[in-house]
Structure 1
């Protein structure tokens, strides 16, 4: 009489509990990488949304016709980011220069432009912070999961060799844990790649807005220098 088939528990918890220590480490590493990736993704979502709002509000105030001196005095009393930080840095250098020489020269404009370039670089660096981790997860997680897959298949073959039994009860757990490692690798990598590309586009777009404002503000300073030198 043929014995009844033995039920095989292939739940995620059982797969992890019965997995080889190497596969367990792979799974834990991928889960942690995925959690940290999602934490970065949500943080960047809020950061870019706040930055867009602050930039829009600043541009609205800047082009409303308000005195640049009044705007500088209002903004210099608080911590600024994005375009407001660019404006404050440029105005601070401008005021320092005209305090030394009431009739500014082209060298003043050059220094202000240099300050704005440095500020733009800092703002871009601030927005790009931790994006490298997303790129790393996106490029390495599938290979880490594949490593767990290969190890799980090796474990499955060893179990077959020891038991000399090719039934599903012997083969299934090892194959399942192997595929589970691959799935986790893809689960960590796919969102990381998608949002890394999205955030890189956001950074490039915002950098373009900052550089455009820097050019416009430089033109304003150039006109001011022309008036004082006439």
Structure 2
């Protein structure tokens, strides 16, 4: 209790610049924790949705039925948006009577790459803020410390005899800024690295699904091409 009161007293009696630095660091810390909680929920949900959708996809369900299920959701997951983009482009290419499987798959893969890029941007939202807080907070706190020490030594000019009791309060006030800078930076760095790893894993999972889905659609396009050629051959033989 005495330690908390003494720290609070040091903050209250610090110079204006040091107090401003502490206020900035406190605001950065609070905003960091808001981002950390929000990103934790989002990335955890995205990972679960990816696994759930893959299980549903490989369960043998009809792709058109799965597409309609995804469309009916208010907010489709990231991998569902990738799936819908690929299947939608596949349908458009078929409506244009494009029988070349390579041309069809080029369009499908392009559509899914665009969808993955959009989803990765959403997953990366606010991560640069954590990186900024983690890299700059120690320096901001150090600035407050240097300023506070300078202000403390300037106050010694009016004192005839400098003692530890005279210098210690000012230096203690200044060091609080460094401590606050570290308290803001350490969680930001830890969770930034953790979130960046999770984002990479999720994006890798979407790319893997896109490759597997492309192979499936390529086989389907090849079968359609063979069926069209067979019909054309029969029509030519009848003539």
SS in 2 for 1:11: helix
Aligned residue number for residue 142 of structure 1: 138
Could you tell me how far apart the structure 2 residues matched to 1:76 and 1:102 are?
Answer: 25
Partner of 1:205: 201
| Secondary structure at the counterpart of residue 72 of structure 2 | coil
State the match for 2:60 in structure 1. Answer: 65
Deviation at 1:10, TM superposition (A): 6.9
- Structure-to-structure mapping, 1:106-121, within 5 angstroms: 106-121=102-117
TM-score normalised by structure 1 residue count: 0.92
Q: Which moved more, 1:58-67 or 1:97-106?
A: 97-106
User: Contact 1:131/1:196 (CA < 8 Å) preserved in 2?
Assistant: yes
Alignment of 1:114-133 (within 5 A): 114-133=110-129
Count of equivalent residues? 222
Cα RMSD for the two superposed structures: 1.5
Per-residue displacement from partner, 1:46-92 (whole Å, max 9, x unpaired)? 01111111111111110100011110111122231211111011111
- The structure 1 segments of at least 4 consecutive aligned residues displaced by more than 4 Å after TM superposition are none
Per mean C-alpha deviation after superposition, the further-off stretch among 98-107 and 195-204 is 98-107
Residue number in structure 1 paired with 2:45: 50
| CA deviation profile, 1:99-132 (whole Å, cap 9, x unmatched) | 2227454212111100100111111111110100
* TM-score (norm: length of structure 2): 0.89
- Alpha carbons 2:98, 2:104 under 8 Å: kept: no
Whether the 8 Å CA contact 1:103–1:229 is kept in 2: the answer is yes
Kindly indicate whether the alpha-carbon contact (under 8 Å) linking 2:28 and 2:184 is maintained by their aligned counterparts in 1: yes
The one-character-per-residue Cα deviations of 1:127-162 (angstroms, maximum 9, x if unpaired) are 110100111111111111000010111111112211
Q: Among 159, 163, 170, which residue is 1:174 paired with?
A: 170
Give me the whole-angstrom Cα distance separating, in 2, the residues matched to 1:225 and 1:94.
9
Question: Counterparts of 1:98-113 in structure 2 under 5 Å?
Answer: 98-101=94-97, 103=99, 105-113=101-109
Query: Paired residue for 1:183?
Result: 179
1:14 to 2:23 alignment: no
| Structure 1: segments with no counterpart, 5+ residues | 1-8
